[in-house]
Amino acid sequence: MTTVQKIKEIEDEMARTQKNKATSYHLGLLKAKLAKLRRELIAPPGGGGGGGGGVGFDVARTGIASVGFVGFPSVGKSTLMSKLTGTHSEVSEIDFTTLTTVPGTVKVHGAPIQILDLPGIIEGANDGRGRGRQVIAVARTCNLIFIVLDVLKPLGDKKIIEGELEGFGIRLNKRPPSIIVRRKDKGGIAISNTVPLTNIDHDEIKAVLSEFKINNADVAIREPGATADDLVDVIEGNRVYIPAVYVLNKIDAISIEELDLLYKIPNSVPISSREWLNVDELIEKMWSSLDLVRVYTKPRGQSPDYDTPVVLKRGKSTIEDFCNSIHKEIAKQMKYAVVWGSSAKHSRGQKVGLDHVLEDEDVVSIVKK
């Protein structure tokens, strides 16, 4: 029996099993087994990490961040890519025009952002159908995913693509669950929770741990509404948490009333890549979702350079990060820095050290020793 068949068998059994106190342990075991089987699809034994490579899929990374275009064939990914970046990505009404990853770059607020046009995926991609495994493996490395959907069938396609990405360990618009599993040498399983357990009980937790051969551990759950799937994600440790924007393409083919309904889909931006409608809003959504920090340099005695900002990632935006992004020797030579902007305590500028955290559009002047 193949891995895919085993997964289908477990999913069918889970669907047949009614959840109650008597079945919670059994369901916990099934969910853990399911996760282990899906892990084999992500990284098959001897498969070198999930099939992320291959001709046309190993792309040199450029820019401060990368955005991957994911979607079914012929939804307009290549048209959008070509117009955004000026990079030629084959455009056609025929399915599967793009057969490899096509990289390009778009500059947003002075920051170079890499765009990756991925081949259209098909249902069953995470099971290895088509070239889905390579496509999704590249998507796992992106800072943001654009899920491009046809406005004439957005919700059905959205659900399928989300399922394919979820099955490959990608968690969209989520953060890692606040669950700690600390293994120990003896003492059995000790479970504590600071929030009510509404979707999982102690039996299910023990069943999941048992399937992963964890017999001694302290488990602390601080995640409201935590599920067995969240616990499995923490134990497996190979999930990636990526923001996603749903790009609802071809709005030139629908009415204003239908367009109003599309705006009710969370994290979505309706556009027309062919007619270039509402793309400015999409670019702004890209910028806000990437959560980047622009920092302007100010040489001593001169005006700030507002044309070429140093762009940092949120969470890695200290003065030391700023210095290292220019040249690694600058941090060693720095006596102190003067910062103007929202991270400074006063408008006349603040003297700070290497650990000071910068905010978007701060101005920095480095004073050397």
Q: Work out whether strand 292-297 and strand 305-313 pair parallel, antiparallel, or are unpaired.
A: antiparallel
| pLDDT on residue 163 | 85
The per-residue pLDDT for range 339-365, each reduced to its tens digit, is: 999 999 988 899 999 999 999 999 999
| pLDDT on residue 222 | 95
234 lies in the same domain as 271: no
253 lies in the same domain as 322: no
Q: Identify the band that residue 113 occupies on the pLDDT scale cut at 50, 70 and 90.
A: very high
32 lies in the same domain as 160: no
> Is residue 325 assigned to a domain?
yes
The CATH number of residue 316's host domain is: 3.10.20.30
Mean pLDDT value across the chain: 85
Give me the domain span that covers residue 16.
Answer: 3-43+177-238
Q: Identify the band that residue 97 occupies on the pLDDT scale cut at 50, 70 and 90.
A: very low
219 lies in the same domain as 255: no
> Is residue 120 assigned to a domain?
yes
pTM of the model: 0.79
Of the candidates 306, 332, 309, 331, the residue with the CA atom closest to the CA atom of residue 320: 331
Other Cβ atoms closer than 10 A to 20: 8
Partnered with residue 277 across adjacent β-strands are: 272
Q: Does position 288 have pLDDT exceeding 90, yes or no?
A: yes
Q: Which of 85-89, 199-203, 236-240, 296-300 has the least mean pLDDT?
A: 85-89
Query: Residues for the chain: how many in total?
Result: 369
**Burial level of 78, CB count in 10 A (0-12/13-18/19+)?**
buried
How far apart are the two ends of the chain, measured CA to CA in Å? Answer: 68
> Which residue is associated with the tokens 């919700």?
155
Contact between 139 and 169 (Cβ < 8 Å): no
Instruction: Count the alpha carbons within 13 Å of 171 in the hemisphere toward its beta carbon.
Output: 14
**Burial level of 155, CB count in 10 A (0-12/13-18/19+)?**
exposed
Give the separation between CA 357 and CA 318, rounded to whole angstroms.
4
Q: Work out whether strand 268-270 and strand 244-249 pair parallel, antiparallel, or are unpaired.
A: parallel
CA dihedral of 247, 250, 255, 259, whole degrees rounded to 10: 0
The CA-atom distances, in angstroms, between 342 and each of 55, 103, 347, 358, 361 are 46, 35, 9, 8, 8
115 lies in the same domain as 130: yes
HEC-encoded secondary structure of 244-295 = EEEEEECHHHCCHHHHHHHCCCCCEEECECCCCECHHHHHHHHHHHHCEEEE
Give the separation between CA 322 and CA 317, rounded to whole angstroms.
6
194 lies in the same domain as 343: no
120 lies in the same domain as 164: yes
| pLDDT on residue 88 | 55
Considering only residues 134 and 98, tell me which one the structure prediction assigns the higher pLDDT: 134
> Is residue 338 assigned to a domain?
yes
Other Cβ atoms closer than 10 A to 11: 13
227 lies in the same domain as 325: no
The per-residue pLDDT for range 166-217, each reduced to its tens digit, is: 877 899 999 999 999 999 999 999 999 999 999 999 999 999 999 999 999 9
Contact between 195 and 222 (Cβ < 8 Å): yes
363 lies in the same domain as 220: no
134 lies in the same domain as 192: no
Number of domains in the chain: 3
The per-residue pLDDT for range 5-21, each reduced to its tens digit, is: 888 888 888 888 888 87
Mean pLDDT of all residues in 90-98: 42
> Is residue 48 assigned to a domain?
no
**Can you point out the beta strands (E) in the chain?**
65-71, 102-108, 111-117, 144-150, 170-172, 179-183, 189-193, 217-221, 240-242, 244-249, 268-270, 292-297, 305-313, 334-340, 350-352, 362-368
230 lies in the same domain as 248: no
